[in-house]
Chain A
Amino acid sequence: MRLLLALLLALALPSLAAADPPDQGIVHVPIAPGTPLKKAGAELYAANCARCHGDRGHGTAKDGPKLDDVGALATDFYLSIGAMPIADPHQQPVRTRVLLTAYERQALVSYVSSLGPGPLIPHPHAGRGNVSAGMQLFTQHCAGCHQIAAEGGYVTGARVPPLGQATDTQIAEAVRMGPYLMPVFSGKQITNAQLDSLTAYIHTTRHPLDAGGWSIGHVGPIPEGLVTWLLAAVVLVGVCLLIGKRLRRE
C-alpha cells in the first residue's frame, strides 16, 4: 500500500514541477523606431547582460564568462532557449520561457557578435542527413548524457536536457559550442554533413517507431515497472478481490 502511494505520488508530481518559472526581471528597453539593430542591442545588453558579462563582453571574475569571442552562435543559442538572462548566474542555464522578443534577441545577437570575431549561426539540413549514420554518431557522442532516445539524463553536476524541444539550429549550436558542461564538437570531429545526420536522427526520436503501442516515455524499465505495479498488479489484485472473500469474523 505504501509502495503504491509513493508511486502514485511520484506520478502526480510532474504537474507541480511544470509550473512556469517566475519572471526573471527582464528589462525591455524602449527603442525608438529606426534605431540601428546593433545600437538597440547595446542598450539591451547594458540593461540585461552587463552585470554578469561585464562592459563590452569583457566578462566578470565570478558571475559570467567574457563574450567577445563567442559570436552569434552562442548568443543566439542561450537567448533562443530562454536560458539568458539568468536569475542566478551560479545555476545551470536551462531551457525556460523566452522573455525577450524576437527583435530584442536579434538585436542582442547583432551587438554581441560585433564585440569580436566568433562563429556564425549554423544551418543544419536534417533532410540531407542519414538517420542510421546519425544514430551511430548519437550513440557515440551523445547518448551517454542525453540517453539513446534523446529523453535527457544526468551527468555528475548537471541535469542533461531532453532534446524534444530543441530546434535543428539549437542542436547544431549546442554541438559546436558545448553549453554549460557539454563538450564542444568542432567541425573536425563532427563534420557539417554528420551534423545533418545527427539532427535527422534526433528528428526520429521525436516520433519514434512505437510499434509496441503506448510508448510510456522511451526510457526503459522505470515506467515499465510503474505500469507493472500500478496497472497490472492493481487490476489482478482487483480480480482476486472479486473472486475471493474478504475477512469477516463471526
Chain B
Amino acid sequence: MVGGLLLLVGRRRAREDEQRIVPRGTPDTPAETAVILLLLACAACALAFVVLYALDRLPHQTQLLGAALGVALLLFAAALILIGKRLVVTEELEEPYPEEERLVETHEIERIVEESGSRITRRRLLVMAGGAAAGSLGLAAVTPAVSLGPLLDTDRFYKAPWTRGRRLVDEHGRPYLASDIEKDTFYSAYPEAADPELIGSPVVLVRLDPGDLHLPDGREHYALLGIVAYSKICTHAGCAISLYRKPTFAPVEPRPALVCPCHYSTFDPATGGTVLFGPAGRPLPQLPLLRDARGYLRAAGNFSGPVGPSWGGVREDRARA
C-alpha cells in the first residue's frame, strides 16, 4: 500500500522532472547556511569600510580601508563560488559547434553585390576613382596630425643653449669660478639665464690632472686647467649621468669615469668622453671652456656634438645654438 503510494509519487515527480529545463538538484543546507554567513560577513566588512572612511586622523587608514574592502570583496567572492559549486545545479549541456562556413548565404551576398551594379559599365575606373577619393580624404584627415610636432624640422634636435661666453651656473643659478672646481668630485652646471630643463642644458664638470688628459685632436684647448665639461645626458638613452667614480688608490682601482645609472654606459672624461663600457655608441659631447677676467667659468662655444640619445645622421654635425 505504502509502497504503491511512493511509486505513484515517484512517477509523478519523474514526469514533472522530464518537463523541467533545469534539472532538479538536492538541497544542501550547510552550504546554504555558509553562503548566508559569508554574505552577512561581507556586508559587515563593507560597512566597516564606510565607518573607517568617516574617521579622521586614523593611523594606517589606507591599510584599514584596503583590508576592509578587499576582505568584503573576497567574502562575496567566496559566497558566489560556493553558490556555483554547491547551491546551483551544474548541468552538462551539449551543443553542436557552429558550422565551419555557410556557403549558400555567402554566395547570396556575393550575388546581391554583383547584381546591384548592372548599370555600371566602367567598373574598374569607377573603383579606382573611388579609391582615389577615399585615399585622399584619408590623407586629408590625418594631415592636421602633422601639427603635433614639426614633422620635418629635425634641426631642433641639434640645438643646445650654449654659446661662447655663457657662464656655467649651479642649480641655484650661482656662477662657478674656475677655482671652485676641485679634483676627485663632480659638479652639475647649467647655462646662465637659460631653461635648465632643456636636454641640452645640464653639464657635468670634473677636474683632472692636466697631464692625464688625452683629448681628441682639435679639442686640446677644450679643457681649462684640467677642468673638462661634458653634456650630462647619456648618448645612449638620455638619462642624466649623475655618477662619478674616482679611484682612492689608483694602482688597483678603476680609472675615473662618468656613469649613467640606466644601462651603466661608462665614459672616460680624460679622453673626450669616450665609451669605456656599456651600450652607448658614441662619446659624450664636450663643452669647450674658458675663464673670464674675474675667474668665472664660461663656455667657449657649443658642444662638440649633438646632445642626448642618437638618431639617424646624428654624427654629421656639431651642436648648434
- Of residues B182, B243, B246, which shows the largest number of chain A Cβ atoms within 10 Å of its Cβ? B243
Q: Is B185 an interface residue (CB 8 A)?
A: yes
Range for the number of chain A residues in contact with chain B: 20 to 34
Q: Which residues of B contact A179 (CB under 8 A)?
A: 248
Q: Which residues of B contact A184 (CB under 8 A)?
A: 182-185, 246
Q: Which residues of A contact B261 (CB under 8 A)?
A: 144-145, 153
B254 touches A65 (CB 8 A): no
State in angstroms the CA–CA spacing of A211 and B66 once bound together.
Answer: 12
Least Cβ–Cβ distance between B112 and chain A, in angstroms? 44
Q: Which residues of A contact B259 (CB under 8 A)?
A: 144, 155-156
A90 touches B252 (CB 8 A): yes
Q: Which residues of B contact A180 (CB under 8 A)?
A: 247-248, 253
Near A by CB (< 8 A), chain B positions 238-285 give 240-249, 251-254, 257, 259, 261, 264, 266, 276-278
Near A by CB (< 8 A), chain B positions 72-96 give 77, 81, 84-85
Interface residue from A65, A158, A183, A188 paired with B244 (Cβ < 8 Å) = A183
Q: Is B187 an interface residue (CB 8 A)?
A: yes
Interface residue from B62, B180, B188, B252 paired with A213 (Cβ < 8 Å) = B62
B249 touches A64 (CB 8 A): yes
Q: Is A207 an interface residue (CB 8 A)?
A: no
Q: Is A103 an interface residue (CB 8 A)?
A: no
Least Cβ–Cβ distance between B109 and chain A, in angstroms? 39
Q: A153-B261, A243-B84 are in contact. Are A178 and B185 (CB under 8 A)?
A: yes
Near A by CB (< 8 A), chain B positions 220-254 give 240-249, 251-254
Query: Nearest chain-B residue to A63 (Cβ)?
Result: B252
State in angstroms the CA–CA spacing of A178 and B21 once bound together.
Answer: 82
Query: Nearest chain-A residue to B66 (Cβ)?
Result: A213
Least Cβ–Cβ distance between B111 and chain A, in angstroms? 46
B248 touches A178 (CB 8 A): yes
Near B by CB (< 8 A), chain A positions 154-175 give 154-158
Query: Nearest chain-A residue to B265 (Cβ)?
Result: A156
Least Cβ–Cβ distance between A162 and chain B, in angstroms? 15
Least Cβ–Cβ distance between A202 and chain B, in angstroms? 17
Q: Is B118 an interface residue (CB 8 A)?
A: no
Q: Is A35 an interface residue (CB 8 A)?
A: no
B246 touches A183 (CB 8 A): yes
State in angstroms the CA–CA spacing of A145 and B180 once bound together.
Answer: 23
B254 touches A157 (CB 8 A): yes
Interface residue from B77, B182, B242 paired with A144 (Cβ < 8 Å) = B242
Least Cβ–Cβ distance between B270 and chain A, in angstroms? 15
Query: Nearest chain-A residue to B255 (Cβ)?
Result: A157
Q: A180-B248, A186-B182 are in contact. Are A155 and B243 (CB under 8 A)?
A: yes
Query: Nearest chain-B residue to A212 (Cβ)?
Result: B62
Query: Nearest chain-B residue to A92 (Cβ)?
Result: B253
Least Cβ–Cβ distance between A190 and chain B, in angstroms? 9
Q: Is B296 an interface residue (CB 8 A)?
A: no
State in angstroms the CA–CA spacing of A178 and B251 once bound together.
Answer: 17
7 of the cross-chain contacts (CB-CB < 8 Å) are A90-B252, A144-B243, A155-B245, A156-B257, A184-B184, A184-B246, A239-B81
User: 9 new A-B pairs (CB below 8 Å) besides A144-B259, A145-B243?
Assistant: A62-B251, A144-B244, A155-B243, A156-B259, A156-B278, A178-B185, A213-B66, A239-B81, A243-B84
- Give me the 4 closest cross-chain CB pairs, A-B, nearest first: A144-B242, A181-B245, A157-B254, A144-B243
